[in-house]
Amino acid sequence: MSDGELRRILAAAEYIAVVGLSERPERASHGIAKYLLAAGYTVYGVNPKLAGRTIAGAEVYSSLADVPGRIDIVNVFRRSDAIPGITGETLELEPEKKIRCLWLQLGLYDKSSARRARQAGLTVVMDRCIKIEHAHLAR
């Protein structure tokens, strides 16, 4: 994916759901949620064990379905075996939440899920860190 495409995705987004948000400050999902909030995005955490709490400045919900309103980017911080289920939930909610992008963090890659999401009209980013890309493109 080109820098121009990534810039377009990030510039068009306002609402980002961080799936797998951790309460542990040393975890990447925690730091990236804080970074995205500081960059001006509205960030929702998705973690059923932490639902109802505020972590890294983000309200946390049990599932994507529980997030109020629109989600532009679903940013995934879960193990690879969870990606098909997250993709399914994303596709089911896409019309209601107006989801435009499924973003799989560094080390996450699933061809089948990516194909399904693209066929449904979503943009898919795999094996890329949203914070690194945002910081790189902001220069």
DSSP 2: -
Type of residue found at 2: S
Phi, psi of 57 (to 5 degrees): 90, 0
Element of type H or E holding 61: strand 58-61
User: What pLDDT is recorded for position 23?
Assistant: 96
User: What pLDDT is recorded for position 138?
Assistant: 81
Measure the CA dihedral 25/77/17/22, to 10°. -30
User: What pLDDT is recorded for position 50?
Assistant: 97
User: What pLDDT is recorded for position 139?
Assistant: 67
Counting as low any pLDDT under 50, the low residues of the chain are none
